Amino acid sequence: SATVAYFRPLNDTWQANFDTTVFYSEGNPASGGVPAVPSPGTDFFFSAGLYGNNVLRDRDVVSSTFRYANTSASTLYLLDSYYRFQTGPAGKLRVRPRMKLGYRELHSTGGHEILAFPSVSADYAFDDKTSGEIEVGDRFTVTRQSGTKLSASELFVFLGVRRDF
């Protein structure tokens, strides 16, 4: 595999980031009665992002990234954006609404998926080394293949405690 990344500050508020990765994977020959696994070939990944600090208020973060992935299984186009801001006593609470929107072409079936992942996360700093985190969201997908349409919605919740040593 090979990766190239480029980061560039645009001004005191905004910065841009670009990266690309090319990954080649070989298959496995048949052995001991196990059939051969064909090589999936070369996968290609690209992303371009724009990040801002102190955009609307002190210590906030704005992020929007476009991602592209072309693999043996699918081709994915994804836009991932969020806004993070601090609030609460002494700015100890950080809130981050986020939206991911995507389109995936499924190579094996000729179908495609439309994806939407809205979520909101929050973390609270109890002290300098300990914080609690929660993220709640949904994963909406609409898949079309072989003349059928399947819609799905999956609610998710992540909850955790972080302790720095």
- Tell me what the mean pLDDT of segment 27-33 comes to: 88
What are the E-state strand segments in 54-147?
Answer: 61-70, 74-87, 93-106, 112-125, 130-145
Give 90-146 pLDDT, tens digit per residue: 889 999 999 999 999 999 889 999 999 999 999 999 999 999 999 999 999 999 998
- What letter does residue 29 receive in the DSSP assignment? -
Residue ranges covered by each domain of the chain: 2-25+41-163
Write down the pTM of the prediction.
Answer: 0.86
Longest dimension (CA), the chain: 65
Percent of the chain at pLDDT > 90 equals 84
DSSP-based three-state secondary structure for 99: strand
Give the contacts of 71 (CB within 8 A, at least 6 positions apart).
Answer: 40, 43, 44
Instruction: Read off the pLDDT of residues 39-78 as tens digits, 9 standing for 90 and up.
Output: 888 999 999 999 999 999 999 999 999 999 999 999 999 9
Give exposure, 79-89, as e/b (b: 16+ Cβ within 10 Å): ebbbbbbbeee
* Neighbour tally for 137: CB within 10 Å: 19
Burial class from Cβ neighbours inside 10 Å (0-12, 13-18, 19+) for residue 90 reads exposed
